[in-house]
Amino acid sequence: MNASMISPNQAARFKRLAWPFMSVVLRTSECLTRSSDQAEDLAQETMLKALRAIDSYQDDTDMRAWLLTIMRRTHIDCLRAVRNRPLQLSLDGTALDLPDNEDPPSGRLDEQWEEPEELMDRFDDETVIEAMRALPNDIRWTLLLVDIEQMAQADAAAVLGVPVGTIKSRAHRGRAMLRDQLCQFALQRGWLRKKEGAE
Q: What is the pLDDT of residues 56-100, one digit of tens each?
A: 999 999 999 999 999 999 988 887 876 665 544 443 443 333 344
Task: Flag whether 195 is in a domain.
Answer: no
Q: Answer whether residue 98 is part of any domain.
A: no
Question: Above pLDDT 70, what percent of the chain?
Answer: 77
Residue 194 resides in a domain? no
Note the pLDDT tens digit of each residue in 11-24. 999 999 999 999 99
Tell me the CATH number at 112. Answer: 1.10.10.10
Give the confidence band of 26 by pLDDT, cuts at 50, 70, 90: very high
For residues 98 and 104, which has the higher predicted lDDT (pLDDT)?
A: 104
Distance linking the first and last C-alpha atoms of the chain: 55
184 and 125 inside one domain: yes
Q: Which burial class, exposed, middle or buried, applies to 45 when counting CB atoms under 10 A from its CB (0-12, 13-18, 19+)?
A: middle
Domain that holds residue 140: 105-188
For residue 10, pLDDT beyond 80: yes
39: exposed, middle or buried (Cβ count in 10 Å: 0-12, 13-18, 19+): buried
Q: Give the total number of structural domains in the chain.
A: 2
> What distance in Å separates the CA atoms of residue 34 and residue 47, rounded to the nearest whole number?
19
197 part of a folded domain: no
Q: Evaluate whether residue 29 is within a structural domain.
A: yes
Q: Based on the domain organization, do 181 and 130 belong to the same domain?
A: yes
In a domain, 131, yes or no: yes
pTM of the model: 0.68
Q: Is residue 196 part of a domain?
A: no
Model pLDDT, residue 76 = 87
Mean pLDDT of the chain: 81
- Three-point CA angle 55, 32, 89, nearest 5°: 120
